[in-house]
Amino acid sequence: MAETLVIAIGGNAILKEGQRGTVEEQFENVMACCGPIVDLYKKGYRIVLVHGNGPQVGNILLQVEAAAPDVAPQTIDLCGAQTQGQLGYMLQRAVHNTFKQRRIQGKITSVVTQVIVDQNDPAFQNPTKPIGPFYTKERADQLQRENPKMVLKEDSGRGWRRVVASPTPLRIIERDSVRSLLDQSHIVVTGGGGGIPVAVEGDRYVGVEAVVDKDLVSAIIARDLQADKLVILTGVDQVYVDFGKPTQRPILRMNTQEAQEYMNQGQFPPGSMKPKIQAALGYLASGGKEVVITSIEKLEQAMEGTSGTSIYKA
């Protein structure tokens, strides 16, 4: 059977820093991602795409804030669902256009994906994930009065910002649908933005005000699909030690023990490379074969082992 790849694309690859975020800009960015991915599909790989949504969710919350009080507030799970539809459509259209340009008979489908989390996860006792716009102290106090459950924290002198929990993902509900589509040769877009967080209450699912890390969800999906590789696309070609220092050096290959040691040394920043390394270690500990961390521009070379960073079991 052909190898299965789970490829995680960061939300900042779709809406780049410094861009206004127009539809044209985002489609252009998505099209740039599609070429290397379609090349892998043409080679026979079974492909699952997981995308980030941080900038897009932030924009939705900005729009809601600008329209207040005329427009009712949105819950975070609904914002995540909206971005799954928005970005799934963008990826589908861009991949279909790439198929046509290259005369490839291919298929791509997006799955609105729910991820189960535990409401007793310690993350809910200490929300840390900032989302949405900055507020003045007066507006933050007003929001707090209107919604006592909302948590707002001052952010480095820049204003007040909402923070939500980032619980550990357990599994995605739609995994059997993803498997079925893979078996029919579809590229499958799933787990967008880390999935829509839901919890189990009795015999039903309920939406949860949280944001699940996209890389951790990618690892869960790769585990459940028994994928051959988890590929995490980021803004740098390789993982580095001493990043940004004169002693900076790239890592082409490292085993799980070396990765853990580097992480213990503080080599990987919490808001940047650390979640990707944690996702890699989790996937490999659950039986995964290999993790590749690279940029979209170096994806082909990374799959050949000449670029990127490959992480494997010790």
Mean pLDDT in runs of 10 for the chain (314 residues)? 92 77 88 94 97 87 86 90 95 96 96 97 91 86 87 85 92 97 98 96 95 95 97 94 94 97 94 91 96 95 96 94
As annotated, the residues of the chain forming the CATH 3.40.1160.10 domain(s) are 4-115+170-312
**In contact, 56 and 23? CB cutoff 8 Å:** no
C-alpha span between 5 and 190 (Å, rounded): 13
Strands 253-255 and 309-312 turn out to be parallel
Maximum Cα–Cα distance across the chain: 60
Token readout for 177 is 């649908």
Confirm whether pTM is higher than 0.85: yes
Classify the C-alpha dihedral 169-174-179-182 as positive or negative. Answer: negative
CA distances from 129 to 123, 169, 180, 234 (A): 10, 15, 34, 20
Close Cβ partners of 299 (under 8 Å, ≥ 6 residues apart) = 36, 37, 40, 231, 233, 308
Task: Give the pLDDT confidence score for residue 252 in this predicted structure.
Answer: 97
Classify the C-alpha dihedral 306-7-117-174 as positive or negative. Answer: negative
Task: Give the pLDDT confidence score for residue 10 in this predicted structure.
Answer: 83
Q: Rounded to 10 degrees, what is the CA torsion of 216, 222, 224, 227?
A: -170
Q: What is the pLDDT of residues 279-302, one digit of tens each?
A: 999 999 999 999 999 999 999 999
Task: Give the pLDDT confidence score for residue 15 in this predicted structure.
Answer: 76
Alpha helices in 111-255 (DSSP H): 137-146, 175-183, 214-224
Owner of token pair 């995490």: 232
**In contact, 104 and 136? CB cutoff 8 Å:** no
Task: Give the pLDDT confidence score for residue 254 in this predicted structure.
Answer: 97
Task: Give the pLDDT confidence score for residue 239 in this predicted structure.
Answer: 97
* Catalytic positions: 11-12, 129, 214, 276
- Coil, strand or helix: which one is 106? coil
Q: Which residues pair with 164 in a beta bridge?
A: 129
Residue by residue, DSSP assigns 71-119 as: S----HHHHHHHHHHHHHHHHHHHHHHHHHHHT---EEEE---EEE--T
Q: What is the pLDDT of residues 173-191, one digit of tens each?
A: 999 999 999 999 999 999 9
Task: Give the pLDDT confidence score for residue 314 in this predicted structure.
Answer: 86
Task: Give the pLDDT confidence score for residue 128 in this predicted structure.
Answer: 85
Third-level CATH fold of 4-115+170-312: Carbamate kinase (3.40.1160)
C-alpha span between 222 and 245 (Å, rounded): 33
CA distances from 239 to 7, 70, 119, 235, 260 (A): 17, 46, 34, 10, 13
C-alpha span between 215 and 172 (Å, rounded): 14
Task: Give the pLDDT confidence score for residue 300 in this predicted structure.
Answer: 94
Closest CA to 46 of 15, 4, 80: 4
